[in-house]
Amino acid sequence: MTANGILQIIFYIVLLTLLTKPLGVYMTRVYQGEKTFLSFILRPTERLFYAICRIDPESEMNWKQYGVAMLMFSLVSTLVVYVIQRVQFYLPLNPQALAAPTEHSSFNTAVSFATNTNWQGYSGEATMSYLTQMLGLTVQNFVSAAVGMALAIVLIRGIARSETDKLGNFWVDTVRGTLYILMPLSVALAIVLMSQGVIQNFRTYDTAALRDPYVAQVDKKDDDGNVITDADGNNVKEDQTFDTQTIAQGPVASQLAIKQLGTNGGGFFNTNSAHPFENPNPLTNFLELFSILWISAGLTYTLGRMVKSQSHGWAVYSAMLFLFVAGVAIAYWAEARGNPLYPTTVDQKVVGGNFEGKEVRFGVANSTLWAGATTDASNGSVNSMHDSYTPLGGLVTIANIQLGEVVFGGVGSGLYGILVMVILSVFIAGLMVGRTPEYL
């Protein structure tokens, strides 16, 4: 552990805490339909959405109507993403002429992105066209995050309101979350990321000559492209010389911004935010890392304002922050000590600890800080390979996942996840002391 690494982690925590209130106040105003500094620009667009979709913004739903609307919207989203993938070969913006993913992969990806899970069973640059990445996956990065935020807000309303079964309008909450919160933040972040070297283009992939060609064994194929097998059914191998490398391109920055802000995590490239085109330098690393937790942290302040108990909002934030800091501290200590299997005569402090699976431009501190944030928030993006962590460092990431999104968690889902735990704890505590459970 170094003073520089510790200071970077402290700076991250302090900045996150300082900016929790401004964003929380802003989100409160958005979801309560109050005027914001963006209203004069976005209000006409919001009204246009309502007019096109025939939404009455003054009409509110009960919990059943709200839930059905959410489920139907997610179902349609899943279907749209599935269809886009299956016909991508025939659609524009496919300069590499990539074939459609299989029906199983397409369904898995559609469900994953529509539910804000973003589990990927494919390599983005080798599987998805630019149109699929933008129209299918990036759109879902926005709306799945907006749905999670809407569900958190409706739970807060359920806690704050009494003597009514009306909890708001799902369509209004989703539109406002997308239009006033996710879109402006994503546009601003994408512009900054592009200025730092994150690519944003529609070019065909580049081909670069290797300075040191290499030979590798590959499956031998016949003239029809079928793999040749021997008498025992084993694939026949042949030597092949590789003297070029394909360098993927694409509209990365626009997807990367919402990938982090919406705690989606599904990367444009297979190596995610360890790829230099997604995360070229320490500044982009910090901005992307900060984006993972900012909205989830801000929602705790929104909770306090909407239930008229700001101390409660800070209490929830403090509980989350304590678990987050504890995990990061343990992981950083473990990784900075190095690989425990190395002989004691090997001084790993010279290189800074366990560097296997980590990017040199980020170091151990920023890698473990990212590992803590991404697993706490169920984000899933990585700037280092977690399976290369030491046993104790890897244990932290696994423990964060097992906590089930109560340490900040995904946007919206983290807040309603911990609120369920809070309500359950209040109920059990009330039973233990023999009094009627009370929350707020």
For each of the chain's 440 residues, which pLDDT tens digit applies?
Answer: 889 999 999 999 999 999 999 999 999 999 999 999 999 999 999 999 999 999 999 999 999 999 999 999 999 999 999 999 999 999 999 999 999 999 999 999 999 999 998 889 999 999 999 999 999 999 999 999 999 999 999 999 999 988 888 999 999 999 999 999 999 999 999 999 999 999 999 999 999 999 999 999 999 988 888 889 988 889 999 999 999 999 999 999 999 999 999 999 999 999 999 999 999 999 999 999 999 999 999 999 999 999 999 999 999 999 999 999 999 999 999 999 888 877 776 666 666 788 889 999 999 999 999 999 999 998 989 999 999 999 999 999 999 999 877 899 999 999 999 999 999 999 999 888 888 888 87
Euclidean distance between CA atoms 198 and 177, whole angstroms: 26
Bridge partners (DSSP) of residue 207 are 246
The answer to whether the beta carbons of residues 285 and 362 sit under 8 Å apart is yes
The answer to whether the beta carbons of residues 401 and 410 sit under 8 Å apart is no
pLDDT of residue 153: 96
Bridge partners (DSSP) of residue 217 are 239
Q: Output the pTM of the full model.
A: 0.91
Ranges of each domain in the chain = 3-202+251-402, 206-247
- Joined tokens for residue 105: 């992969």
State the Cα angle at 312 between 309 and 315, rounded to 5°: 155
Kindly give the interhelix angle for 310-337 and 3-31, rounded to the nearest 10 degrees: 150
Euclidean distance between CA atoms 109 and 267, whole angstroms: 12
